[in-house]
Structure 1
Amino acid sequence: MNDLASRLQAIRDRISAAAQRCGRDPASVQLLAVSKTFPAEAIREALDAGQLLFGENKVQEILAKAPQLPSNLQWHLIGHLQSNKVRKVLPHVQAIHSVDSLDLARDIDRIAGELGLKAKVYLEVNLGDESSKHGFNAEGLRAQLEALHALTRLEIQGLMCIPPFDDDPEKSRPYFVQLRTLRDELEKTGGRPLPLLSMGMSHDFEIAIEEGATMVRVGSAIFGERTYKPAA
């Protein structure tokens, strides 16, 4: 087993243990391997080790990597999506985790209709009210939920959040609790299920699982530390 496959198996084992600790079926938690900045070769290694779900932050990375890789893997867009890139990416992704406004949701709905597609999406919630991050605030999402549910080309899977970063993973727990509580509230008021919670990353995914995550987004713990190119 190569190093990447070993790291991937270690993450799977930790997911299983975290789920069992809180009385959950490990199969209720999916692992999204975040492959942003890593080459297609690294993704192929993970694919050979049985990983099928991959997350990317940028549309252009999906469009560049997808033709180099088998068609059976599934791409999820987890980074901010600009409206002018919806048409390009929609045919290539199985889900968009970063629907952060009603305007973007409407654009996705319209373009999905034009392409004859249904779009699986998560609604991103900025629970930390961080100006550097996108997302609905909780009150705005409550106010716009009915309009979001009216978009017939969207299949709203649930909610997503990225808590403010802290070296102590326990500091993420209150945000995960808030997201789960908000989801439960919106299911009751909106009258529709929102079964999935996309939350938890390399340093705090076990806490997220304890608080109800159904998909965790893990990158560096699988692929290694990222090296970013300096801005030109």
Structure 2
Amino acid sequence: MAQIAENLKTILNKIREIEKKADRAENTVKLVAVSKFHPAEAVIEAASAGQNLFGENRVQEAAAKFDEIRAKGINLDLHIIGSLQRNKVKEAVRIASCIESVDRIELLEEIEKQAAKINKSIEVLFEVHTGEDSKAGFTSEEDLTLAIERCAKGDFPHITPKGFMTMAPFTEDKELVRKSFVTLRELREKFQKTFPALDLCELSMGMSGDYDIAIEEGSTIVRIGTAIFGERVY
């Protein structure tokens, strides 16, 4: 387990190095430690090493794990980063501060409904399909515009849109990966101009294998699991 603290330190140092090389201010990139398929003890170990922000893909697994951790008085920040079914939204809203994987308007409606019930304000990122492999994410700019428009209009008072998320294609071709990240950054710039009242500052892009390219292209959140916790035990 001491390895987790060591891995975290290595990753954070690398993130700071890449920020510097990319001429970005220090600490402009947040690290989401992706703890899916890893036990509560691993999360607590990372928390003891100073990591406060975690990401989980599966709501049921996340709820069991983070309820256990919080019952011990350890209060951590959790993002839901996996594709989300409507019947899992109630739990997701209860346990998380941000849902990064909003890919359709129906999901926004359900998040609003569940957040209103417990009078909780929740942040969301719009997931955009920018690579060929991932099936998740908005594929139509028209639908995405409509979703953001409804947020700007105040249709979802318990939801705070904070930006965008994507997964690059799984490929050795770094130019394709970069293209995916550039697409998201340009989209964010465009929507920020169109909806100046919203603060769409976050770009969640980059994982263990490609976070260097993501940071070079403006990522503000990287989602890293394997390089911190080791290979997953399925």
Name the TM tier (shorter chain). Answer: over 0.9
Do the aligned partners of residues 88 and 202 (structure 1) sit closer, same or farther apart at CA in structure 2, a change above 3 Å counting? same
TM-superposed CA distance for 1:144, in Å, is 3.5
**206, 209, 214: which is aligned to 2:215?**
209
**129, 135, 143: which is aligned to 2:137?**
135
Please tell me whether the aligned partners of residues 38 and 233 of structure 2 are also in contact (alpha carbons under 8 angstroms): no
Q: 1:146 is paired with a residue of what secondary structure?
A: helix
Please tell me whether the aligned partners of residues 76 and 95 of structure 1 are also in contact (alpha carbons under 8 angstroms): yes
**158, 178, 181: which is aligned to 2:163?**
158
**185, 195, 209: which is aligned to 1:180?**
185
**147, 150, 175: which is aligned to 1:147?**
150
Please tell me whether the aligned partners of residues 35 and 56 of structure 2 are also in contact (alpha carbons under 8 angstroms): yes
5+ residue gaps, structure 2: none
Q: Which residue of 1 aligns with 2:15?
A: 15
Q: Which residue of 1 aligns with 2:194?
A: 189
2:128 and 2:74 map into 1 onto residues whose CA distance is 31
Q: What is the Cα-based RMSD across aligned positions, in Å?
A: 1.6
TM-superposed CA distance for 1:227, in Å, is 2.8
Q: Which residue of 2 aligns with 1:80?
A: 83
**173, 176, 185: which is aligned to 1:171?**
176
1:72 and 1:147 map into 2 onto residues whose CA distance is 32
Query: Would you say 1:45 and 2:41 are equivalent positions?
Result: no
Deviation string 1:173-213 (CA, Å, 9 cap, x unpaired) is 11111101000000111222200101000000011111111
2:150 and 2:139 map into 1 onto residues whose CA distance is 16
For 1:203, the aligned partner's letter is G
TM-score when scaled to structure 1?
0.92
Identical counterparts, % of pairs = 44
Structure 1: which 4+ aligned runs deviate by more than 6 Å? none
5+ residue gaps, structure 1: none
1:26 and 1:106 map into 2 onto residues whose CA distance is 37
**84, 106, 113: which is aligned to 1:103?**
106
TM-score when scaled to structure 2?
0.92
Please tell me whether the aligned partners of residues 201 and 217 of structure 1 are also in contact (alpha carbons under 8 angstroms): yes
After the TM superposition, which of the residue ranges 138-147 and 209-218 deviates more from structure 2? 138-147
Between the two proteins, the alignment pairs up a number of residues equal to 227
1:190 and 1:121 map into 2 onto residues whose CA distance is 16
1:144 and 1:92 map into 2 onto residues whose CA distance is 23
TM-superposed CA distance for 1:106, in Å, is 1.0
1:167 and 1:40 map into 2 onto residues whose CA distance is 33
For 2:97, the aligned partner's letter is Q
